[in-house]
């Protein structure tokens, strides 16, 4: 399977998603928008994974490629391709399907629990969050996860597209990249942890990765529920 990674900044790559792809013998191919890569031909994409980034989906003036990216995502969903959106990627998925994206009540950065209603996830799981925006659910979407501060943490559209506001793919290396590039986001807040607390939480990544692998298996095979 040819898995296309839409990557918006150098420090938010596929991380544990690449581990899953390698274990399954899938081929990763990248569109790096920060290097002005062109969009691929739809026929060259078997599965689409849209990664995170510090920009807003509404920053089309500064990042004009966002318009075409959202159109590509909507087409991929409509054509039935497996689609996974992570953090900014989940917001782009929501926006591409007509939902509004806007600032959350408070930033949510750190290892905090979410409650799931999905057969690929445990009822409660502590995951890594790093976001300031949230979104409405697209029409017809099914809510899959919520946290105390963010109601819409995960959703699916049909059985082929899933958006995750949080980072199941986080690894020690990807966390360090986030802290180095976006450590200025770690201001005092009710739902913002320090760099030390983020590093201390990395043991949670193991169960998060196992959950991610189950989700990716479902997306790649028979669809999610």
2-220: CATH, from 3.10.129.10, 3.40.50.880, 3.40.640.10, 3.30.420.40: 3.40.50.880
Write out pLDDT tens, residues 3-21.
999 999 999 999 999 999 9
- Residues annotated as catalytic are 87, 167, 169
pLDDT value for 171? 98
Q: Is 223 exposed, middle or buried (0-12, 13-18, 19+ CB in 10 A)?
A: middle
Q: What is the rounded CA–CA span in Å between residue 149 and residue 192?
A: 11
The values of phi and psi at residue 43, to 5°, are -65, -20
The domain locations on the chain are 2-220
Write out pLDDT tens, residues 51-109.
999 999 999 999 999 999 999 999 999 999 999 999 999 999 999 999 999 999 999 99
Whether residue 172 contacts residue 156, with contact meaning beta carbons closer than 8 Å, is answered with no
């Amino acid at each position: 399977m040819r898995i296309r990674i839409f990557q918006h900044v150098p420090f938010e790559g596929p991380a544990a998603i690449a581990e899953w792809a390698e274990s399954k013998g899938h081929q990763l191919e990248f569109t790096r928008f920060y290097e002005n890569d062109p969009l691929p031909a739809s026929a060259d994409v078997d599965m689409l994974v849209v990664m995170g980034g510090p920009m807003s989906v509404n920053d089309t003036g500064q990042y004009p490629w966002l318009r075409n990216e959202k159109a590509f995502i909507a087409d991929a969903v409509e054509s039935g391709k497996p689609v996974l959106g992570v953090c900014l990627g989940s917001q782009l998925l929501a926006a591409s399907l007509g939902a509004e994206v806007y600032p959350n009540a408070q930033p949510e950065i750190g290892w905090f629990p979410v409650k799931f209603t999905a057969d690929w996830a445990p009822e409660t799981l502590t995951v890594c969050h790093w976001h300031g925006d949230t979104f409405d659910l697209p029409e017809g979407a099914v809510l899959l996860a919520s946290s105390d501060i963010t109601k819409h943490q995960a959703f699916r559209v049909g059985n082929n597209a899933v958006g995750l506001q949080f980072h199941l793919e986080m690894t020690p290396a990807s966390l360090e990249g986030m802290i180095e590039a976006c450590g200025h986001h770690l201001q005092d807040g009710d739902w913002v942890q320090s760099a030390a607390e983020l590093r201390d939480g990395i043991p949670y990544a193991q169960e998060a990765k196992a959950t991610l692998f189950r989700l990716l298996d479902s997306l790649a095979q028979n669809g999610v529920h």
